[in-house]
Amino acid sequence: MVTPQQQDPILTFGEAMALFTADQTGALSTVPQFSRRLAGADTNVAIGLARLGFEVHWLSQVGDDSFGAYIRQCLEQEGIDCARFATLAGEHTGLMFKEKVLAGRDPKVEYFRTGSAASQMTAGHADGLDCGHFRHLHCTGITPALSAGCRGLTWTLLRQARAEQTSISFDPNLRPTLWPDTATMRQTLNEMAALADWVMPGLEEGRILTGQQTPEAIADHYLDMGCAAVAIKLGSEGSYFRGELDGRRQTLEVPGFKVDEVVDTVGAGDAFAVGFVSGMLEGLGPEAAIRRGNLLGSAAVQVPGDMEGLPDRNGLAALELRAPAP
């Protein structure tokens, strides 16, 4: 197995937001107190990989407000390289508010991110960046949904990474309300996914994007476009993998892990991405990488917050020790 210390750096990018989670159940309009945390699918993955010992770089920008300062402090404390993390004068940082729910129900969330500093990024933010310096690029479908400029940045990084033979993981992370229409979302994200090595949709996301219904048909859609592997998240049931192994397409179905209580489902897919991507980069092979992804996803839903359940190396070892044998 290749350890993270032997890896070249990983590049992540997107929008980090300040998250305010309700301290008690009820409508957001009636809850009097909230707890502040960090949010953002891209930052969840960046933090998760950094905690596992990878050298992670973050490309983004925030406003020159207290929330932007808070986000910078959080990322730097996680050991993430913020050399390309800018503060934009006179602009604001994106915010997110989330309900507290019981019985594992998906919480209602409200965003205040229109016109945020991060949404004003453009392809120019990649100027001077050498994608060949990085071993891996992680990308989600959220960033290109933020603005035309952010789409340009995403295309630039994907194409540069592909040209430099930097491996790419792509999580669609559908946010339909951020797109002008479903057709544009489908076309853009499918074209972007075609540049990736590993595509990681949820089952319903895959159905929306491809028009196919079964995991196998969804996976074959992306494999036929040139992707090397597809990992489809099936929620509590586990995950489905299909990819080129030993010169032919092979399928793996890896069951999920039982959890005693589902506290917060937000961030589970990002935790899966951390497990799968880290496992693949470490050379564990698809089955072990999928299993790690399932394990981290199950840990994520048992705690409040988007990334609080992401473990460091010692925490990962403890989770693996307690997990039932495959």
Q: DSSP for 196-215?
A: -SEE--BHHHHHHHHS--SH
Q: Which residues are catalytic?
A: 270
Sheet holding 17-25: strands in order across?
34-39, 17-25, 95-100, 109-112
Whether 105 and 9 have beta carbons less than 8 Å apart is answered as no
Stretch (H or E) spanning 187:
helix 182-193
The angle at the Cα of 274, spanning 231 to 238, to the nearest 5 degrees, equals 45
Inter-axis angle of helices 182-193 and 148-163, to 10 degrees?
Answer: 20
Amino acid at 304: P
Q: What is the spatial distance between Cα 107 and Cα 263, in angstroms, rounded to a whole number? A: 10
Q: What's the alpha-carbon Rg for the chain, to the nearest Å?
A: 18
Cα separation of 183 and 37, whole Å? 34
Neighbours of 168 (CB within 10 A): 23
**Residues 3/31, Cβ–Cβ less than 8 Å:** no
Which residue in the block uniquely carries the two structure tokens 């100027």? 127
Which residues, in sequence order, are bridge partners of residue 239?
Answer: 233, 254
